[in-house]
């Protein structure tokens, strides 16, 4: 055979057979450039693919949603409970079912619409059909259905129709404190009041993607309101509203040591369970008059003027103020409502509510000083509390001597009543100006955030003046036995057209109890009250707001656990007693 | 010998597989129970919420006031209904009418047999 001349072709064949393997595994440099190019191409194609998908996703209008995400975003979010200061529920979430449809999964849309509208007559068939035929993947049919409706729809057995649990906001007390609580819309988003505050503070679970809050983690929020006191306030205000045929009424109770609002009501009000009720038209707007309304506070403002004069040191309790003649400025003349035509002491100016006297005292301090004092007392700037609603006081643009004279007795400057309340609270609590709050706050925190605006002595003088006004002045109707009440009336004439009207008035009343160491400051206001039968035609503050405050005080004080005093305090005003005044508030004013 | 070992191995394999599957199904069952319980807890919590709201609704002050006005004869607190502790009259000396009668009959505590010994001691001194 040819064994020797045919020297083994086998290795060659083997070389050829495994040649490609060697090729692939070869690490020679001449091969790598091509391979890198191939790799780059591959990666490039992959990136192009990803980029293309991104552009596609970006351009498509509706991102594909899973049902859960869609329903979750559409459903009403969870909100924390609102409690009163004693833990009673003011607002809470209740689970309800809402019925939805996925039009893509419905086989016969017309039949579905027909059957559903048979069960839910409130749903408009034509409108529902239109929405069913839109391209949406998820539509609500009806929110917050009843258990019976749920049963009936469930038994229709329609494909593409489902139920989703939702939260519905419930206000068990109805219209009580409605102006503080506010209300929510269908999606449980706060629209007004403390409900809106909760949303702005991020205390709710609004279903915003990326801000998921565990509904279990929502802690109840405790407000400073006392539901029982609020009810008493509302009840008495309504009784007065009917008796005095007033257009509107409002009232508030504030704890002067902490600045907490214990009760706040404004009539007419609405039921937050039924938000459309808010906008239902009545003759008088349903606004929060304590917060949003601005009014000329009338004679209650005199407290601020007298405190300013006393604190400036230009006037003391024993000073004499000339109120013999009307005060003229330009072509304006200032009269006294209860004219005395004599020289008055400072307590007499207060108890007789002398316009001339207070105007003279303001002039002693001067325009600059008057403005500075009112600014310090927070009367010239917008007062912002937790409530989103607030009002800017209407300050005269050109503030001359005449303005100072009229503002001294509460005309010519419109402030929110809450503002005036804050100012008077500071005058009687020892001179600490603190912002009112609707959340619970302790005295230490309140004091730390307060500002000393008048001296202890001025504060005590004001308490003494308020007390003497209850015993000898216009606040007698509110002088409830056992509570050592101090108070001040205010009757401001309303501007009709461009003139102050004589028969249309805005009346306010402020009362403190007990006057030697006040805890609560009461405010009651009536808009356009009329004289009640038997009042001799008087429609001034003492007859309406003053009476209501008296009745209110009698109800609220025992509710709050304040025991009545069987005898007046022995040394109610120690600081000014040392100076020889006010040893007995019950005797002053007459002298 | 080898065959026996093989059988044993196969048996162990099947046995362990069966055991693992039972465990798995048991775990699934328990997980379902947990989910069920969680649902029940949530449902009960919701029911509690509804009941609390209902309670508050029924106990709202204006309803209580209406009922109290209709059904109770209560009056507002008046100042003359309150008395200071100092104004409460002193406790009178205990009036023991029976004892006094006994004394008047000459059967006073000094002569009663129970006090006999004690009553006698001062005179003995």
Pick from A172, A173, A558: CB nearest B77 = A558
A203 burial level (CB within 10 Å; 0-12, 13-18, 19+): middle
CB atoms within 10 A of CB A475: 27
The answer to whether A59 and B15 are in contact (CB under 8 A) is: no
Residue by residue, what is the 3-state secondary structure of A268-311?
CCCCCCCCHHHHCCCCCCCCCCCCCCCEECHHHHHHHHHHHHHH
Backbone angles phi, psi at A323, to 5 degrees: -125, 30
CB atoms within 10 A of CB A498: 5
- Residue A135 to residues A102, A128, A369, A538, Cα–Cα distance (Å): 10, 13, 68, 68
Q: Which of A98, A224, A266, A299 is catalytic?
A: A299
Shortest distance between the Cα of A493 and any Cα of chain B, in A, equals 34
Contact check, Cβ <8 Å, A92/B65: no
Contacts of B54 in chain A (CB under 8 A): 172
CB atoms within 10 A of CB A452: 13
- A interface with B, Cβ–Cβ < 8 A, is 88-89, 92-95, 170, 172-174, 176, 227-228, 231-232, 235, 481-482, 554-555, 558, 563-564, 566
Q: List per-residue pLDDT tens for chain A, 591 residues long.
A: 444 454 444 555 555 667 777 766 666 666 778 888 999 999 999 999 999 999 988 887 665 555 555 555 556 677 888 999 998 999 988 888 888 888 888 888 888 888 888 888 888 888 888 888 888 888 888 888 877 888 888 898 888 888 888 888 889 998 999 999 998 888 788 888 999 998 888 777 655 444 445 555 678 899 999 999 999 999 999 999 999 999 999 999 999 999 999 999 998 888 888 877 767 766 678 888 998 889 998 888 899 999 999 999 888 888 888 888 778 777 778 877 777 778 888 888 888 888 889 999 999 999 999 999 999 999 999 999 999 888 899 999 899 888 999 999 888 899 999 999 999 999 999 999 999 999 999 999 999 999 999 999 999 999 999 998 988 888 888 888 888 999 999 888 888 877 787 788 899 999 998 888 999 999 999 999 988 887 878 888 888 999 999 999 989 998 888 888 888 888 888 888 877 775 555 454 433
Q: Tokens for A554? A: 């009698």
Contact check, Cβ <8 Å, B53/A92: yes
Q: Tokens for A503? A: 């028969």
Residue A174, phi-psi category: left (phi > 0), alpha (psi -120 to 50), beta (remainder): left
Backbone angles phi, psi at A499, to 5 degrees: -125, 155
Which helix (H) or strand (E) segment is A144 a member of?
strand A139-145
Contacts of A93 in chain B (CB under 8 A): 49
Contact check, Cβ <8 Å, B54/A564: no
Residue B113 has pLDDT above 70, yes or no: no
Between chain A and chain B, the number of residue pairs with CB atoms below 8 A apart is 55
Contact check, Cβ <8 Å, B49/A95: yes
Q: What pLDDT is attached to residue A210?
A: 43
Contacts of A220 in chain B (CB under 8 A): none
Nearest to A447 by CA among A257, A225, A260: A257
User: CA-CA distance, A405 to A395, in Å (whole number)?
Assistant: 14
Report, as an integer, the average pLDDT of B1-29.
Answer: 94
Contacts of B53 in chain A (CB under 8 A): 89, 92, 94, 170, 172
- Give per-residue pLDDT as tens, B62-90: 899 999 999 998 887 777 788 878 778 88
Q: What pLDDT is attached to residue A416?
A: 93
b/e string for B43-58 if b means 16 or more Cβ within 10 A? eeebeebbebbeebbe
β-sheet bridge partners, residue A95: A167
Q: What pLDDT is attached to residue A541?
A: 87
Strand segments, DSSP code E, in A398-545 are: 414-415, 432-433, 451-452, 486-496, 499-513, 520-527
User: CA-CA distance, A231 to A275, in Å (whole number)?
Assistant: 21
- Give chain A's domains with CATH numbers: 69-220 (3.90.1310.10), 227-578 (3.40.710.10)
Shortest distance between the Cα of B86 and any Cα of chain A, in A, equals 12
Pick from A174, A554, A563: CB nearest B60 = A174
Task: Choose, out of A80, A93, A94, A216, the residue to mutate when testing the contact with B (most B CBs < 10 Å).
Answer: A94
b/e string for A87-106 if b means 16 or more Cβ within 10 A? ebbbbbbbbbbbbbbbbeeb
The answer to whether A482 and A566 are in contact (CB under 8 A) is: yes
Shortest distance between the Cα of B45 and any Cα of chain A, in A, equals 10
Contact check, Cβ <8 Å, A88/B84: no
Q: What pLDDT is attached to residue B10?
A: 95
- Residue A440 to residues A88, A285, A339, A559, B115, Cα–Cα distance (Å): 14, 29, 45, 18, 67
Contacts of B65 in chain A (CB under 8 A): 231, 235
User: Please, what is the Cα angle at B43 between B37 and B45, to 5 degrees?
Assistant: 105
Domain residues of chain B, as ranges?
31-70
Contact check, Cβ <8 Å, A94/B76: no
- Give per-residue pLDDT as tens, A290-339: 988 899 988 888 999 999 999 998 888 888 888 887 787 777 788 777 77
User: CA-CA distance, A148 to A218, in Å (whole number)?
Assistant: 30
Contact check, Cβ <8 Å, B79/A564: yes
The answer to whether A65 and A138 are in contact (CB under 8 A) is: yes
Q: What pLDDT is attached to residue A14?
A: 54
Nearest to A257 by CA among A375, A428, A377: A428
- B interface with A, Cβ–Cβ < 8 A, is 46, 49-50, 52-54, 56-57, 60-62, 65, 76-77, 79, 82-84
Contact check, Cβ <8 Å, B76/A554: yes
A299 catalytic? Reply is yes
Contact check, Cβ <8 Å, B49/A93: yes
CA-nearest residue of chain A to B57?
A172
Q: Tell me the pairing of strands A295-296 and A161-170.
A: unpaired
User: CA-CA distance, A572 to A588, in Å (whole number)?
Assistant: 14
Q: Tokens for B16? A: 């362990």
Contacts of A481 in chain B (CB under 8 A): 79
Nearest to A310 by CA among A457, A473, A517: A457
- Give per-residue pLDDT as tens, A206-230: 554 444 455 556 788 999 999 999 9
Pick from A172, A174, A555: CB nearest B53 = A172
Shortest distance between the Cα of B41 and any Cα of chain A, in A, equals 13
Contact check, Cβ <8 Å, A93/B56: no
Residue B124 has pLDDT above 70, yes or no: no
Which helix (H) or strand (E) segment is A344 a member of?
strand A343-345
Q: Sorting pLDDT into bands at 50, 70 and 90, what band is B109?
A: low
Pick from B46, B53, B82: CB nearest A566 = B82
Q: What pLDDT is attached to residue B81?
A: 82
* pTM listed for this prediction: 0.77
Pick from A174, A554, A564: CB nearest B82 = A564
Backbone angles phi, psi at A332, to 5 degrees: -100, 145
Q: What pLDDT is attached to residue A167?
A: 82
């Amino acid at each position: 055979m040819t064994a020797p001349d045919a020297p083994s072709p086998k290795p060659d064949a083997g070389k050829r057979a495994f040649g490609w393997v060697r090729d692939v595994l070869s690490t020679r440099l001449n091969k790598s450039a091509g391979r890198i190019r191939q790799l780059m191409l591959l990666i490039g194609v992959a990136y192009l693919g990803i980029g293309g998908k991104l552009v596609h996703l970006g351009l498509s209008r509706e991102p594909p949603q899973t049902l859960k995400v869609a329903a979750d975003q559409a459903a009403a979010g969870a909100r924390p409970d609102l409690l009163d200061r004693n833990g009673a529920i003011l607002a809470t979430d209740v689970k309800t079912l809402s019925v939805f449809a996925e039009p893509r999964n419905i086989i016969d849309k017309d039949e579905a619409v027909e059957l559903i509208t048979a069960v839910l007559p409130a749903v408009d068939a034509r409108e529902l059909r239109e929405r069913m035929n839109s391209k949406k993947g998820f539509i609500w049919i009806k929110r917050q259905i009843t258990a019976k409706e749920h049963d009936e729809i469930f038994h229709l057995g329609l494909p593409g129709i489902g139920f989703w649990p939702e939260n519905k906001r419930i206000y068990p007390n109805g219209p009580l404190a409605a102006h503080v609580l506010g209300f929510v819309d269908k999606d449980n988003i706060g629209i007004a009041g403390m409900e809106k505050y909760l949303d702005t503070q991020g205390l709710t679970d609004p279903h915003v993607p990326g801000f998921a809050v565990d509904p279990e983690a929502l802690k109840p929020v405790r407000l400073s309101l006392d539901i029982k006191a609020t009810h008493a306030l509302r009840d008495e205000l309504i009784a007065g509203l009917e008796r005095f045929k007033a257009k509107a009424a409002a009232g508030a109770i504030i704890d002067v040591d902490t600045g907490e609002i214990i009760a706040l009501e404004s009539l007419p009000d609405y039921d937050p369970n039924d938000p459309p009720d808010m906008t239902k038209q009545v003759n008088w707007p349903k606004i929060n008059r304590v917060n949003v309304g601005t009014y000329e506070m009338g004679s209650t403002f005199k407290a601020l003027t007298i405190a300013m004069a006393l604190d400036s040191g230009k006037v003391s309790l024993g000073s004499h103020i000339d109120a013999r003649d009307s005060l003229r400025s330009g072509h304006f003349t200032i009269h006294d409502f209860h004219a005395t035509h004599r020289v008055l002491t400072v307590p007499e100016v207060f108890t007789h509510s002398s316009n001339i006297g207070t105007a003279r005292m303001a002039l002693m301090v001067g325009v600059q000083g008057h403005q500075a004092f009112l600014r310090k007392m927070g009367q010239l700037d917008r007062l912002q509390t937790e409530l989103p609603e607030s009002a800017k006081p209407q300050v005269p643009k050109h503030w001359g001597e005449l303005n100072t004279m009229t503002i001294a007795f509460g005309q010519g400057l419109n402030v929110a009543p809450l503002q005036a309340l804050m100012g008077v609270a500071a005058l009687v609590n020892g001179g600490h100006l603190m912002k009112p709050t609707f959340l619970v706050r302790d005295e230490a925190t309140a004091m730390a955030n307060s500002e000393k605006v008048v001296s202890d002595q001025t504060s005590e003088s004001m308490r003494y003046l308020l007390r003497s006004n209850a015993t000898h002045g216009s606040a007698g109707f509110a002088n409830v036995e056992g509570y050592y009440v101090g108070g001040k009336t205010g009757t401001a004439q309303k501007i009709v057209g461009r003139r102050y009207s004589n028969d249309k008035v805005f009346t306010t009343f402020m009362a403190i109890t007990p006057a030697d160491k006040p805890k609560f400051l009461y405010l009651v206001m009536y808009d356009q009250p009329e004289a009640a039968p038997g009042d001799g035609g008087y429609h001034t503050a003492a007859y309406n707001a003053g009476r209501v405050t008296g009745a209110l005080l009698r109800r609220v004080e025992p509710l709050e656990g304040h025991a009545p005093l069987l005898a007046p305090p022995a040394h109610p005003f120690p600081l000014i007693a040392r100076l020889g005044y006010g040893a007995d508030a019950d005797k002053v004013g007459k002298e | 010998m080898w065959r026996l070992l093989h059988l044993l191995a196969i048996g162990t394999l099947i046995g362990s597989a069966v055991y693992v599957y039972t465990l798995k199904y048991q775990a699934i069952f328990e997980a379902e129970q947990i989910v069920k319980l969680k649902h029940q807890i949530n449902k009960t919590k919701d029911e509690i919420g509804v009941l609390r709201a209902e309670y508050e609704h029924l106990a709202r002050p204006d309803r209580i006031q209406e009922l109290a006005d209709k059904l109770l004869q209560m009056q507002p607190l008046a100042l003359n209904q309150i008395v200071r502790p100092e104004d409460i009259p002193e406790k009178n000396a205990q009036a023991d009418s029976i004892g006094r009668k006994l004394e008047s009959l000459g059967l006073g505590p000094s002569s009663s047999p129970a006090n006999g010994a004690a009553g006698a001691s001062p005179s003995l001194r």
